[in-house]
Amino acid sequence: MGHRGMYYHNGGWMYMLGIGIIIILGIIFLVMYYFNSKDTNKSLTNDHSNKIDSAFDILDREFATGNITEEEYLRKKELLKK
């Protein structure tokens, strides 16, 4: 028992505490990484839909200002929907 007590007095408990903290931080990091990667995938999808919306807005603007004909407008609108 004397040897065991000496181990803990020499800082052995700090190593165990350090390992526990490292494990907990690792788990927290993995959970945060998982949720951030899911958010990134969602934002990429949202960015893509925003690009489509902005393309429709630009097309509407071009038609409204008379830069393209109605035929061109309808054809391009159908292409964007695909």
Task: Give 42 or 74, the one with higher predicted confidence.
Answer: 74
For residue 69, what pLDDT is reported?
92
Assess contact for 82 and 55: CB atoms under 8 A: no
pTM assigned to the model: 0.39
**Which pLDDT score is estimated for 1?**
47
Our count of domains for the chain comes to: 1
Name the residue range of residue 64's domain.
2-81
SS3 readout for 3-57: HHHHHHHCCHHHHHHHHHHHHHHHHHHHHHHHHHHHHHHHHHHHHHHHHHHHHHH
Instruction: Read off the pLDDT of residues 13-69 as tens digits, 9 standing for 90 and up.
Output: 788 888 999 999 999 999 998 888 765 555 545 555 555 567 888 889 899 999 999
Q: What is the pLDDT of residue 37?
A: 77
Q: How far is the C-alpha of 59 from the C-alpha of 69, rounded, in Å? A: 11
